[in-house]
């Protein structure tokens, strides 16, 4: 059963990559003006002045931070690169803490030529290596399963079930969680569920239920899947332009206990060329109509 329509923007967040041409300062101003309460900050949008400075800008704007995107990319063909990835993920956690992001979204990584099974092992090892730092900072690590289209070079974690298998290896609860408290996102290592990547999975309803039950359901991202895309990465659809039953899937997430932000994350070379205020308004109209 689909969820009830959303009557306001109180649970809406926007990724800075959705309005890629905007600086963080422009995005904060644009989102605030549009009545959007939260922002997911991509690291490339952190200002040259650094994450502490970004934190000050964000706090001054009044917006909440839904997440920092992105960490991950753990697998590599040599140990030096794997260590560099671990170090970079620790840095991402520091940045998340500095801007008040409750989680770092993980695009876990994959390397052509490295067997997927080995990549998955390196991903779990990489997460294990940064868990203590995440725990100390109180920042969640949120695995985003990526569509199998990206299994070659972006992520060897391509289904909710695979993300779940990794989450199960960790039992840390986020600092501050009340013992015995049942919330869908209480575990330190969990999942950012993006409809673009997982909509086709026949197990999706059950997987969301399990993720919520175990405290792994950290985030929920929306856009749409167009059956023809001019680019494998940067031609995502606006909600309603494609074939994803977004409202049905949101209903499943909410049945699983999810009550966080619905994050609008749309990579679109075409949309990035136009006026970003107008594009943002288009996104919000589609959010009300289709999410």
Where along the sequence are the contacts to its own copies (CB under 8 A)? 112-113, 115-117, 120, 147-149, 151-153, 158, 162, 199-202, 225-229, 232, 242-243, 245
Place of tokens 């991402």: 92
Distance from C-alpha of 186 to C-alpha of 172, rounded to nearest angstrom: 9
Closest to its own copies by CB, 145 vs 215, is 145
What's the closest the beta carbon of residue 85 comes to its own copies, in angstroms? 18
What's the closest the beta carbon of residue 210 comes to its own copies, in angstroms? 17
What's the closest the beta carbon of residue 228 comes to its own copies, in angstroms? 7
Closest to its own copies by CB, 101 vs 249, is 249
What's the closest the beta carbon of residue 18 comes to its own copies, in angstroms? 22
Closest to its own copies by CB, 224 vs 263, is 224
Tell me the CB-side half-sphere exposure of residue 278, using CA atoms within 13 A: 5
Distance from C-alpha of 67 to C-alpha of 219, rounded to nearest angstrom: 8
What's the closest the beta carbon of residue 39 comes to its own copies, in angstroms? 30
Question: In the chain, at which residue ranges do the beta strands (DSSP E only) sit?
Answer: 12-15, 38-42, 64-72, 103-107, 140-143, 189-194, 217-222, 262-264
The answer to whether 58 touches 46, Cβ cutoff 8 Å, is no
Can you say whether residue 215 is alpha, beta or left, with left for phi > 0 and alpha for psi between -120 and 50 degrees? left
CA-based max dimension of the chain: 50
What's the closest the beta carbon of residue 130 comes to its own copies, in angstroms? 23
**Residue 261 tokens, joined:** 């932000």
Closest to its own copies by CB, 200 vs 272, is 200
Nearest to 103 by CA among 217, 264, 250, 251: 217
Closest to its own copies by CB, 94 vs 241, is 241
């Amino acid at each position: 059963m689909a969820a009830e329509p959303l009557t306001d923007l109180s649970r809406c967040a926007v990724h800075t990559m959705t309005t890629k041409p905007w600086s963080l300062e422009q995005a904060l101003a644009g989102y605030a003006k549009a009545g959007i309460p939260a922002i997911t900050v991509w690291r490339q949008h952190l200002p040259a002045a650094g994450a502490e400075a970004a934190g000050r800008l964000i706090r001054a704007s009044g917006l909440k931070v839904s997440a920092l995107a992105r960490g991950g990319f753990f697998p590599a063909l040599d140990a030096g690169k794997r260590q560099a990835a671990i170090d970079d993920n620790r840095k991402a956690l520091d940045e998340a803490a500095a801007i008040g992001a409750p989680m770092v979204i993980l695009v876990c990584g994959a390397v052509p030529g490295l067997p997927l099974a080995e990549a998955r092992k390196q991903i779990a090892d990489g997460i294990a290596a940064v868990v203590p730092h995440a725990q100390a900072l109180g920042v969640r690590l949120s695995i985003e399963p990526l569509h199998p289209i990206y299994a070659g070079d972006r992520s060897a974690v391509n289904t909710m079930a695979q993300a779940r298998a990794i989450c199960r290896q960790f039992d840390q609860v986020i600092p501050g969680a009340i013992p015995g408290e049942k919330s869908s996102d209480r575990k330190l290592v969990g999942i950012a569920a993006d409809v673009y990547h997982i909509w086709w999975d026949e197990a999706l309803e059950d997987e969301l239920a399990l993720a919520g039950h175990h405290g792994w359901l950290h985030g929920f991202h929306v856009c749409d899947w167009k059956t023809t895309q001019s680019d494998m990465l940067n031609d995502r659809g606006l909600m309603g332009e494609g074939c994803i039953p977004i409202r049905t899937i949101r209903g499943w997430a909410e049945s699983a206990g999810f009550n966080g932000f619905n994050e609008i994350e749309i990579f679109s070379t075409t949309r990035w060329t136009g006026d970003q205020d107008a594009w943002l308004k288009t996104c919000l109209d589609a959010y009300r109509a289709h999410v």
